[in-house]
Amino acid sequence: MFRVGIQKFPNCPALRIAYSFFLIEKLNKKQEAIQELNNASHLHPTFDEEFVIFRHKRLSEEFFEEQSLTGDKAQGGNQANAVDLMTRFAFESTFR
């Protein structure tokens, strides 16, 4: 449904933002969701759409950085301790 909408309205940033949320929440495709946010940012979004794009890209990037640091630092089961709980909470609560 989103793909058909994007084909019909390829220059609609709000549709791409909604599609990125769908990718994260339902399909767990975080990289594709970030790509859709990047695509939306190139379509001259309104101020509030720009803020949504910025906020969700920033949360996603921070969460992924914490995940990669956790994988590098933790050896053996301490991965949960290395993740910043506030960043994780903000990321997960935003996409619910």
Contact 33, 21 (CB under 8 A): yes
Distance CA 45, CA 30 (A): 21
- Residue 62's SS3 state is helix
**In one letter, which amino acid is 87?**
T
Tens digits of residue pLDDT in 84-95? 666 666 666 666
Q: Which residue is listed with tokens 């630092």?
A: 73
Put simply, whether the predicted model's pTM sits higher than 0.75 gets the answer no
pLDDT digits (tens, 9 = 90+) for 6-15: 999 999 999 9
The pLDDT tens digits of the residues spanning 58-80 come to: 887 777 777 766 665 544 444 44
Q: What mean pLDDT comes out for the span 28-33?
A: 88
